[in-house]
Every structure is written in C-alpha cells, then in structure tokens.
Chain A
Amino acid sequence: MANYSTSEFKSGLKVMLDGDPCSIVENEFVKPGKGQAFNRVKMRNLKTGRTWERTFKSGESLEGADVMDHAMEYLYTDGEFWYFMEPTTFEQHQADEAAVGDAKLWLTDQAPCEVTLYNGTPLAVTAPNFVELEIVETDPGLKGDTAQGGSKPATLVTGAVVRVPLFIAQGEVIRVDTRSGEYVSRGGKS
C-alpha cells in the first residue's frame, strides 16, 4: 500500500497504526508561529471502534490500509457467521459477530448493506439507514391513549426492541432509523 504523509491526511482516509486499520476522522494542522509544526489527528480504530486523538510531527507518514467499503446484500446467518454477497460478482463473504456488531439487529433477507473489507475479510457491517421490519411481539394498544403520545416496547422479527406508539399492533411492519434505533413510521410508505 502507498504511504500517506500528514499533509495528505483527510477525513475518511484509511491507514495502518500500531498494526490496526484506522480511519482518519479529523486532521488539524497546528504550528506555534515559528517552530515545529504538528498535526492533531482524530482517528478511529476500525477493529475496536475506539476514537482517540493523536499528535504527529508534520511530515510523518503512515502506511495506507487495505480497507474498502463494498455494497453487499445480506443473505442469512447460521448463528456463528453472517453471510453477505456482492451483487455483481455473487462472491460471498462471512462476517463474525464482532464485525457485524449492532448491524445484526436490523438485518433481514436481501437487505442492502455496506460491508467494510480489510485485506479481503469483513471488518465492519453498516445496516441501511432505514429498515422495515415486522413486530412479532408487543402489548395490545390501548384506545384513547394516542393523544398522549405514549410509547411501549415492541420486539421485531430480528430480535431488536424499539419503542413504538401505543396504536401500533403486533404483526404490523414499521420503519426504523438504524442509526438511532428509533421508530419512524408505519411501514409500506415511501
């Protein structure tokens, strides 16, 4: 992989640091008038998700990381691995639980996902921003409470639990924002 110097650091660049693939979140150049220049860089470790700040001397360089985001389709899980397919090549990839992370709460058959590959292996999975999922369990709604805007827990087909308005019933399909884990609306609307 190519090397990148601090002046080429920009948000989204993937580099290797202490043996782990990392993503540059922010890069700020600072220099005290005369003297040594530094780059204060906010980085995210793509394996652990940890975000932290590290200072480099300007002009230092890091090796690029072989990390690429691919659009894939979710296929199924066998409980241990989650399987994804590249829609153009039909190539399949298996991701372990650490790579799938919270995305597993939102995956249903053929969901379009973003899978981050590191040296060809899934490192992280990002679910679509919005998904529509069926409610498999929730208490019956109480008529007359709708004006209060109250909410109740509902378990989705994937196992995720979200707060829904009281008028939503078991068996309904709802639209959820996967970034916040919040109910958006009833499903079927576009």
Chain B
Amino acid sequence: MEVETPLLASAGVTDPALEPIRVPCADGERFLQTSPEYAMKRLLAAGSGDIFQICKAFRAAEVGRRHNPEYTLLEWYRTGIDHYQLLREVAELLLTLLPHQRWQVWPYATLFEELLAINPFDAEVAVLETIAREQCGEVPPALSRDGWLDLLMSHCIEPAISTWGIVFVVDYPPSQASLARILPRGECCATAARFECYVDGVELANGYWEETDAVELKRRFDDDNARLTAAGQPARCLDPRFMAAMASGLPDCAGVALGLDRLLACQLGTRNLSGILAFDWHRS
C-alpha cells in the first residue's frame, strides 16, 4: 500500500550522525524528516501491513557531489521477511532499472579482510588508525573505533568497489546496527542485520531486519544521547509517539530506503547529483 506521512515532525532522530533541519512553527520547533522511518513504523505498528512511499527527506549540512540536503527517497517495508529476502527484492528491482546483470553480497568483515587485510571486528583501534594514516594521508587526530571504520569505508573500500557493479554489504558491526536487529554470528561475535547497497561504489540503499524490542530500541536511543552529550552537544528528545508505537508492538518486518536521485544518476551514468537535479543546493 502506498502511504504518505508528514515531512515536518514534532520530534527528530537521535542518531548523532544525522543533523535534522529545524523549522520554527507557531506552536514550537519542528523537524524536517531525515527519513520517513519513524512515521512508517507507526503505521506498521498500527497494522498497515506492507507499505511504501516516495518522499523528500532532509539532512542539514550534507552537501557534495553525491549529497544534496534535500533529496528523494523510496522507502518500503515488508512484514514477515528478513533482510536477506528484502536484499534480494532490492537486487531484482535494480536489475530491471540498471544495465547491470549481476549482483554480489559481501560481509563487512570480508571486505576489510580482502582489501585492507584487517578484521574490523577485533582489530585494535590503534591498528585502524595506523592503516588510515598510511592509506588516507592526513586524517583527524582522534576518532572512535566506528569513526576509523567509517573513514576506511568511505576513503578506501568505497573507491575500491566502484568497479564491482552492484554490491550488497551485510553483517555490519553491532555498534553500527542503528535500528536493525543484532544477530549472533557463530560462537564469537554478533552482527547487525543490516545491508547497504552500493552501485559502482555509490551507496544507494540501506536496509534492516528491523529491531522490534522497544526496550532494546530505548537503550540504543539512550546510547545515541550519551554520545551526543559526550561530544558536547545537547541530548535529543525521544519521539514519544514513536516509542509508544514500538511498545505496542512493531510486527516482524524488514525495511529499506533507496535514494532515487542517486539511482537516476546511476541510470544516466553520472556521479554528480547536480547533473540530475533541476536546481541543486547551490542553485535552489
């Protein structure tokens, strides 16, 4: 079922890496959505069943060749399936839209082992930092473990897989689960039930087998706020309506958000969003 949810919400997300655009309204501040995830999960909790929507999403300060602070998402949820089944659905959609004829799945850890010869799950932070300094020139002085992994991912792995066509990265570190379930992996360590889809090195879609446990979600939001306050930023309010919906019960489901501007850019063979937007951020 196609749905439409508000772009302006009374609460934003807690993810420290997402900066919402704030809008003053007559009855207080509102937030332009960074994605329709919260609103769509409220519909799922209310019993909507499978839903999709195409909408605008907004992220302050994300401006670049492949980023426009105002952009278009296709987001959809399917009940009763996991992220691997959803991943297959994304792959089938892309094969109908792009000239590519194959797709491949790579575990996050295997990518790092193959391309950088390290295990991202148990490498010491100092080792990650050393590799970043060797491979990426001058880098920020102090990053968290996930910060170094993000730097290696964006500076080394993404350029390396830009000739690999459609690549799904799976089995993320649990610290990068966001709102995905965390699954035990063998005997030793857990992985996040999350995938990222890259096409020619461009990140196109991010999907989860959704975490449905309201207590676990609350714990992750509190972690986000602890990281925000540790970085000297104000904690963010949890969305009470979203939390109530999660407490009432999100059905077992998997969801994915796919950037339509980037998809169009891939179809047209350009890596620059300004080439497919009528007026990009600098001209809007």
Q: CB within 8 Å of B: which residues of A?
A: 5, 7, 28-38, 40, 52-60
Do A31 and B140 touch (CB < 8 A)?
no
Number of interface residues of B (CB under 8 A): 29
CA distance A30 to B64 in the complex (A): 8
Instruction: Report 13 cross-chain contacts, Cβ distance below 8 Å, ordered by A residue.
Output: A28-B64, A29-B62, A29-B63, A29-B65, A31-B150, A32-B150, A34-B176, A52-B137, A53-B137, A55-B136, A55-B138, A56-B140, A59-B61
Stretch at the interface among B96-104, B119-127, B152-160, B247-255: B152-160
Where chain B touches its partner, the secondary structure class is mixed
Q: Which of A5, A36, A40, A60 has the most CB of B within 10 A?
A: A36
Q: Which residues of A contact B153 (CB under 8 A)?
A: 32, 35
For B65, the chain A residues whose CB sits under 8 A away are: 28-29
A38 lies within 8 A of B154 (CB)? yes
Q: Which residues of B contact A (CB under 8 A)?
A: 15, 17, 61-67, 136-140, 143, 146-147, 149-151, 153-155, 158, 176, 178, 196, 203, 206
How far is the CB of A69 from the nearest CB of chain B, in Å?
A: 23
Known A30-B64, A55-B155; judge A35-B146 contact (CB<8 A): yes
| Residues in chain A near residue B15, CB distance under 8 A | 34
Q: Which residues of A contact B151 (CB under 8 A)?
A: 36, 38, 55
Give the A-B contact count at a CB cut-off of 8 A.
75
In-complex Cβ contact of A29 among B17, B67, B136, B146 (8 A): B67
Distance from B205 Cβ to chain A, minimum over Cβ atoms (Å): 9
CB closest chain-B residue, reference A40:
B155
The CA of A7 and the CA of B61, in the complex, are separated in Å by 6
Q: With A7-B63, A28-B64 known to touch, is A34 a contact of B137 (CB < 8 Å)?
A: no
Interfacial chain A residues near B63, Cβ < 8 Å: 7, 29
With A34-B17, A34-B176, A37-B17 already in contact, 20 other A-B pairs whose C-beta atoms are closer than 8 Å:
A7-B63, A29-B67, A30-B64, A31-B17, A31-B150, A32-B150, A32-B203, A35-B149, A36-B146, A36-B147, A37-B62, A38-B150, A40-B155, A53-B137, A53-B138, A55-B138, A55-B139, A56-B140, A57-B140, A57-B147
